Structure 1
Amino acid sequence: MPPPDPSLRLEHLFTRTVDARAVNFVRPGDTDRPTWAAYDETHYLGTVHAQFDDGRHWHVQSLREQHRHLDDAIRALRRPASWQAEHERVRRWASSILTDPRLIVLDVQTTNLTDPWAVQIGLTDRHGNALFNERLNPLADIAPTATSLHGITQQQAATAPPFGAFVPLLAQLLWSRRCLTYNAGFDRRVLERELRRYFHSATRSRAWLGQCTWAEAMRPYAAWKGLWSACRNAYRYQPLGSTYEAVTNCQRLLTTLEQIR
């Protein structure tokens, strides 16, 4: 049997808050289809249609796009006028990244999100081939919430080498490379913390990290998707559907960039 039509529970006139801003939905009087005109107060945004032929989604008429969630359909309609140019700029960026022979992709799994230490590091080349895939002993406790995501337990980490054992190899792999990550700020902070512990010097740790060029994929991907948050005045973060396994995450990021370019 087909899934029940959720649009049947929506009124002809209703208001929904999307990113802290009210949206008024009006069903045209000349149709009984699941169609609504959307307004930011009195400003017309566009028309959305509920469709369920191949699973629930919302079709945005003017954009010729489909979104699983009504809120995302509204975010698409709220895009700034600059989005088309940004979308094309991200496409060119992705093409440049993927054709760079210096490209290396990095992912780090950690003990937690606050003052984290590394428990796994993965590196691949631009084709997704694993260059480095190691569990690490963080010499610190792993939060149960972190273990529930990446699956690395305290006992497993205890038998692994510490980060310092891999510093020479990582330096060799990263030297003069273009290092792509999803959330570069976080990954760099983790590595810098590990390096400060290893070198006992903030200056040496920053110099070590400066041996490669860092590229951030999270913001370009959010801009490419183009779901605008009215309350943040920015494009919304987009998850990659990560598996929380370092090399797999690197490969998934490459696949995402292939879809962009």
Structure 2
Amino acid sequence: MSSTTAAEAEIPSSRTEPEEVPAKLKVYGWGQAPAHLRTQTQLAADRLKLAPGQQPVAYLYIQRHGQFDLYDPADAVKMKPLGSATKAAMTARRTCPECGKVRKYPVRTRCSVCQAKAYEAQRRREARTCWDCREVFARRLPKEHHRCGPCRSGQLAAWRQKAVEWVEEVTVCGGEGCAVKLVTKKEAREHQRQQGLRRSWWRRAAHWPLRCAPCTTAEEQRRAEQRARWEREEQERREAERRVAEARVRWAAEALADPDVVVLDTETTGLDDPRIVEIAVVSSAGEVLLDTLVNPGVPIPEEASQIHGITDSDVASAATFSQLLDGLTAVLSGKRVLIYNKWFDIGALQHELTLHYLDRAAREFVEEASAEALREGARERSLGWARDPVVWAGEQAGAWLGGMTFEDVMIPYSDWVGDWSEYHGNNRWQPLNGGHRAAGDCRAVLDCLRAMGRRYNGGLDEGEAA
């Protein structure tokens, strides 16, 4: 019967026995380690390096610096001697370019000894330099003022002049054109002397009046008039703001009651060179006049689809903007077109219109140029299109937009909400919250108008309606 246990039988024969765990090494504090032990840095300074597999024999712990390994230098091996080129390069890096001495540390511009000498020389030079004229003298200047004779005389003269001017100022009434004496010069000079003469300013005594009685009365009257003017201007400003707010609310109420008002919104492929993928027009009564997808002719970016949910497959069979332009023109002609952030939607419409007129100009040019009987006028027009078709298309798009009446809703609504931003210096633009679909955004614009004109009945105040 075998004497091998079941646990021993489960161990594969290829496994080696676990290595013996070394005994716990001793940790020394600062100044307690044996003198012969070295750290790895100290071994390198002694031109020694660790032998292959050499392990530390102890540890050195220094507070706020951590723990360091200690090795026995007897087990280390000597480094190979440095070559002459390496020694020369190391010596050159440790040579001061100013004094030419070799230091124990690399030197870049100058060694520490030269830096100290330069600092002391600068201090001695500064002690001989006048603080005003910056002239350097052979001897040190007085530590009290660090100025030469002429500059010191000028400084003292300036102080005396300021002292005289201060006395003149506090002894005379501060009213405009008034020369009434309020304080004697003797009292002013005594108060000035108590504070110190070598100063640039002095404090007035608390019991000294600033003005005589008539000037005090006139000053109080001037301040009262100024305060009344400020209050009147503030009241006028508030009244103007109230009238603007009243006009804003009235505008919203009248827009809801106006049958010639329609709301337009578009969804696009993005912010840069936007192509329209959906367009909707809703009347002020909420009737949908136009709501359709638009084939932009370009792929819809993924980030744009994540916002409005319209993909390339959704618009694959939709009509193009050129095919919808006649119907859009009929819906918007003669109407007040309200748009939330109209500058973006107008920019998208202008981009689509420019591409539409460019495409039409190219087709007409090809058709007229291919005809055998080409009239001279048609030839000149075709050549004009060919020379600068972009400018012509932009003019046509501008003419189409100029025939419409667009009004913005975002700015009036944001001002009505009044979410002030100190950073931008105006009211923050409010999100529309229409679901990022054209028809839903149009209905959200109508909701904004209803919120603004809620207290009006048919666009008129109840008192005016009566």
Calculate the TM-score normalised by the size of structure 1. 0.67
Mapped to 2, the partners of 1:227 and 1:255 lie a distance apart of: 18
Equivalent residue for 2:408? 216
Identity between Structure 1 and Structure 2 (%)? 34
Q: Which has a greater percent of strand?
A: 1
Output the amino acid matched with 2:352. Answer: E
1:213 shift after superposition: 0.7
The answer on 1:124 being equivalent to 2:259 is: no
Q: Which has the larger radius of gyration?
A: 2
User: Do the aligned partners of residues 86 and 235 (structure 1) sit closer, same or farther apart at CA in structure 2, a change above 3 Å counting?
Assistant: farther
1:83 shift after superposition: 4.8
Instruction: Choose from 324, 329, 350 the match for 1:192.
Output: 350
> Is residue 434–residue 443 contact of structure 2 (8 Å, CA) maintained in 1?
no
> Is residue 117–residue 190 contact of structure 1 (8 Å, CA) maintained in 2?
yes
> Is residue 222–residue 237 contact of structure 1 (8 Å, CA) maintained in 2?
yes
Equivalent residue for 1:155? 313
Number of corresponding residues: 182
Mapped to 2, the partners of 1:186 and 1:240 lie a distance apart of: 14
Equivalent residue for 2:253? 95
Deviations 1:141-162 (A, max 9, x none): 2111111111110121222111
> Is residue 174–residue 211 contact of structure 1 (8 Å, CA) maintained in 2?
no
Where do residues 247-258 of structure 1 align in structure 2 (5 Å cutoff)? 247-258=439-450
1:126 shift after superposition: 0.8
Equivalent residue for 1:235? 427
> Is residue 434–residue 442 contact of structure 2 (8 Å, CA) maintained in 1?
no
Output the amino acid matched with 2:271. Answer: L
1:135 shift after superposition: 0.3
Mapped to 2, the partners of 1:176 and 1:153 lie a distance apart of: 33
Equivalent residue for 1:104? 262
Equivalent residue for 1:226? 418
Equivalent residue for 1:173? 331
Deviations 1:138-192 (A, max 9, x none): 1112111111111110121222111100111111111111000101000000001
Please provide the CA RMSD for this pair: 1.4
The answer on 1:202 being equivalent to 2:394 is: yes
Unpaired runs of 5+ in structure 2? 1-236, 359-392, 454-466
Mapped to 2, the partners of 1:99 and 1:206 lie a distance apart of: 30
> Is residue 277–residue 296 contact of structure 2 (8 Å, CA) maintained in 1?
yes
> Is residue 86–residue 224 contact of structure 1 (8 Å, CA) maintained in 2?
no
1:230 shift after superposition: 1.0
Calculate the TM-score normalised by the size of structure 2. 0.38
Where do residues 132-147 of structure 1 align in structure 2 (5 Å cutoff)? 132-147=290-305
Where do residues 21-60 of structure 1 align in structure 2 (5 Å cutoff)? none
1:202 shift after superposition: 0.8
1:103 shift after superposition: 0.5
Equivalent residue for 1:32? none
Partner SS, residue 295 of structure 2: coil
Equivalent residue for 1:115? 273
Task: Compare relative contact order (CA 8 Å, sep 6+) and give the higher one, 1 or 2.
Answer: 1
Mapped to 2, the partners of 1:257 and 1:133 lie a distance apart of: 21
> Is residue 102–residue 176 contact of structure 1 (8 Å, CA) maintained in 2?
yes
